Structure 1
Amino acid sequence: MPPLLRYPSVDELGERAAALVARHPRDARLRRVGTSRAGTPLWLLRLGHGTRQALVVAGPHANEPVGGATALRLAERVLADPGLGEGADATWNLLLCLDPDGLRRNESWLAGPYLLDDYFRKFFRPAFLEQPEWLPHGAAGAALPETRALLALQDELKPFFQCSLHGVDVGGGFVELTRDLPGLAPRIEHTAARLGIPRELGAYDTLYWPSLGPAVYRIPPPRPGDLAAAITEAAVESTWYHPHRYGTLTAVVEAPMWGVRAVEDAAPPADPDAALRTVSRNLRHDTQLLKRILNRLLPYVATAPDAARLLAPVDDYLLVCPGLADAWDPDTTERGRPLPPLSTAHVTALHIAGRRLVLRTAGLLHQLASGAGRDAAALLPELDRLVDEWCADYRDGCGARWIPIPRQVEYQTRVVLAAFELAVRDAREGSRSGEPGWGAEPAVPMHWE
């Protein structure tokens, strides 16, 4: 199958997987494991016949389409290399897209051209409570059918290894683990260097997390928190930790779309406090500006079709921005949680994160204004100016450069395979030593086909 030069759509994922099954009927099977809220099938591509179950979840976030392409690439690699299946006594279970409804809303930009302003104007990501990996009310209270399907799959498979495929729109690549996986950081360094992918050495959402090596972070165990904390800190109950009871190691693999070299600069910044004050001041200013635009827009969109789906994430972003500005401001952090020692990579990541939040908000407001009639559209020139200005800051200020899709996919594929191979190694060593190990409760072989 020729390499993908663009992101696959929801339908293309299913079609390519079905074609692969037709070519490999003995080793590949396709199973419907659930249905989205809009009635789209959730397809699981299953490869091999081993007793160790590996689960790969693509498309958990609607605006991160690289994972679907990576899942297809992984399928080709597994079918071509016996060492990844039979040799590892493993069955690979590839969930092709966890949020197909959300991915469909992004299909207007999936085929390119890949331009920052076009991406943000057409961007969609549902509100936090509509994202299927999160369990804000615990597993028993999971409301989304996509979430329930994934939870059921995890309980059925009891995977020794789980991988969640994510994308970074602007920045670098990194990995988050529920347990240490010694040896992964140097493999990521090698892969990133070979493919020209910057590693994110100070990722914004891992700011307070333990480092397990350059660009590798330990996900803290879930803890209670309010909605704002849940949106900005992933250390909440989620499908990442749900299978922990089975000895599962979860790896969250992030691959960038537009790379920024400064996110791997480990040198100390010249004046970190001044840089942080600028980031915080800009975030406060831009948030207030967007709130004023939202208030002017609301009378025109209250009854517009689908307005609620677009307004919900806008509310999320505007909720968390002031708290983040305070958390990053050296003049206010002493009253809250102190920041760790910061490198240039950290300061760059925080600058990118602040811009990301307001750009996403402006893009969603742009879509609302575009669909709400002539009066609301009077706000479009101002929103266009903001999107253009903030995207120019990414390009010119941060040096953001597009990474071709084949390189994004190859990077993510190699990192997943490296993590898998190390997890197999550790499971085998645990078995030989008589200790429980990560594969202590191997799933009974299943016969779905």
Structure 2
Amino acid sequence: MRELGAHAAALAARRPGEVRLRRVGTSRQGAPLLLLSVGHGSRQALVVAGPHANEPVGGATALRLAERALADPRLTEGADATWNLLLCLDPDGSRRNETWLTGPYTLGRYFRHFFRPGFLEQPEWLPEGAAGAVLPETRALLDLQDELRPFLQCSLHGVDVGGAFVELTRDLPGLAQRVAHSAARLGIPRELGPFDTLYWPALGPAVYRVPPPDTGDLAAAITEAAVESTWFHPRPHGTVTAIVEAPMWGVDAVEDPTRPADPDALLRPVGHTLRRDTERLAGILARVRPRLRDTPGAGRLLAPVDDYLLVGPGIADSWDPDAHVPGARALPLLDTARLTALRLAGRRLALRTAGLLHQLVTASGRDPDGVLPELDRLIDAWCADYRVGCGAYWIPVARQVEYQARVVLAAFDLAGRPTRPHPPADRPARHATPRPEPVRRD
């Protein structure tokens, strides 16, 4: 976090007439929330990096966008625009991920040091509405949105394992083609059926529309963002929000549109596996929880563990063709892309929970039941399933950043254009398939 601030300060010092750096808020633990602004146009673009603590790519993307805006007057004076780049919305949570950020970038290291706060401590969400927002990070972002009234807001997210996709609060015709081009050029798979957007309308391949907020139970909110959010808060100002997801580890099958002969046969073990893994992890938590009362910081680690264990069984039932859950929504057409995304999501819930439990037991300084070796075996086996069973491969940070920056620039371009007729999502416009640049799967 200090490195991001130092780079931004150096940029402001180098180009003081065009770049400003200011503090727009303070985190719960006293860290500054820094806004880097480039240009002096009347039209405001807002880019929010680091809304989720375990998704660090956005900070580097924000700095790259600042450099692009400085280098290309068409992005500032030519568009009558100012770029406002919030370098990190959750600096406290992001700091807790710094252990794995030093590398090496392996799945085991990532999940053993993974941190993401519980749902109620994630600053983009407004479960009690804007008026009831209590986190200082959330209040700072809401105030910034009301001050700037941006025509475009981009929230920069990362997918730990899977592919790239974009979520929009309203359509930007042409964005799906831009996403396809950028992803192909950089060797990044697009996710054609993400778990996050399982029941959301598609606006084109790997581009989805976020439904308007709807109050529901906590489990639905955790898994579907079915609450008010800072994505929709500036909508009365005419803002379109783009949530830009860039993967850290790619899996090519998430963009495979082929339909298996018997999708239920492939889906059934995904639900069964998640149910079994959740029960096993709940049993481990029950054994160690009594000894965690005096462990410093245990509450912040237990909150997401409880969230994941809360939603796991319900998700497993909704995926199980044999479960017949009353009132459950029917799953969409299950092609290979969606089946792969569900498999990745089930593993993600289990691995995040196991990694947080590993940290809790380690922090307690005692392990009389031998839980740590058991958790190590589970983490190693589940990470191996990602690598071997799903073919997960690391995407170098430079490519993650470049992809995300290109998509933001495409959204910036399209958000300033008048709405034009466009083909429906199930009949995408024909366009030339770009020639991929040579990439290394390292």
Task: Name which of 201, 204, 211 aligns with 1:210.
Answer: 201
Aligned to 1:72: 63
2-side partners of 1:216 and 1:268: how far apart?
A: 20
Q: Aligned AA for 1:240?
A: W
Task: Report the equivalent of 2:143.
Answer: 152
Aligned pairs for 1:28-427 (under 5 A) are 28-333=19-324, 335=326, 336-376=328-368, 378-426=370-418
Structure 2: how far apart are the matches of 1:271 and 1:69? 43
Corresponding residue SS for 2:7 = helix
The structural deviation recorded for 1:271 is: 1.8
Aligned residue for 1:425, secondary structure, equals coil
SS in structure 2 at match of 1:254: strand
Cα deviation, 1:294-339, whole Å, max 9, x if unaligned, reads 0111122111111111101000000000110111111235631111
Compute the TM-score of the two structures, normalised by the length of structure 2. 0.94
Q: Give, as a single letter, the amino acid of the residue that structure 2 aligns with 1:144.
A: L
One-letter amino acid matched to 2:411:
A
How big is the shift at 1:374? 2.8
Which one-letter code corresponds to 2:53 in the other structure?
Answer: A
- Once the two structures are superposed, what CA deviation does each residue of 1:267-311 show, in whole Å capped at 9, x if it has no partner? 112321011110000000000000110011112211111111110
Matched-pair identity in %: 74
Query: Secondary structure in 2 aligned to 1:223?
Result: coil
1:427/1:42 CA distance change after superposition, 3 Å: farther
Q: Which secondary structure does the structure 2 equivalent of 1:374 belong to? A: coil
1:33 aligned partner, one-letter code: V
Q: Do the aligned partners of 2:39 and 2:77 also contact (CA within 8 Å) in 1?
A: yes
Aligned with 1:375: secondary structure? coil
Q: What count of residue pairs does the alignment treat as equivalent?
A: 420
Equivalent position amino acid for 1:101 in 2: D
Output the aligned Cα RMSD. 1.3
Cα deviation, residue 341, structure 1:
1.0
In structure 2, runs of 5+ residues without a counterpart are 422-442
Contact 1:159–1:248 (CA under 8 A) maintained in structure 2: yes
Task: Please list the CA deviations of residues 206-249 of structure 1 after superposition, one character each: whole Å capped at 9, or x if unmatched.
Answer: 01000000000000000011110000002320000000011100
Q: Does the CA contact (< 8 Å) of 2:25 and 2:136 recur in 1?
A: yes
Aligned-pair distance for 1:135? 0.2
Single out whichever of 194-203 and 231-240 deviates more from structure 2. 231-240
Give the TM-score normalised by the residue count of structure 1: 0.92
Q: Would the aligned equivalents of 1:49 and 1:91 in 2 still touch at CA under 8 Å?
A: yes
Q: Is the contact made by 2:216 and 2:226 (CA closer than 8 Å) also made in structure 1? A: no
Q: Structure 1 residues 172, 179: closer, same or farther in 2, change over 3 A?
A: same
Q: Matched residues in 1 for 2:11 and 2:398: separation?
A: 19
Is residue 161–residue 247 contact of structure 2 (8 Å, CA) maintained in 1? yes
Structure 1 gaps, min length 5:
1-9, 430-449
Alpha-carbon displacement from aligned partner over 1:366-386 (angstroms, at most 9, x marks no partner): 001111123357210000000
Residue identity in the other structure for 1:348:
T
Measured in 2, the distance between the counterparts of 1:190 and 1:136 equals 36
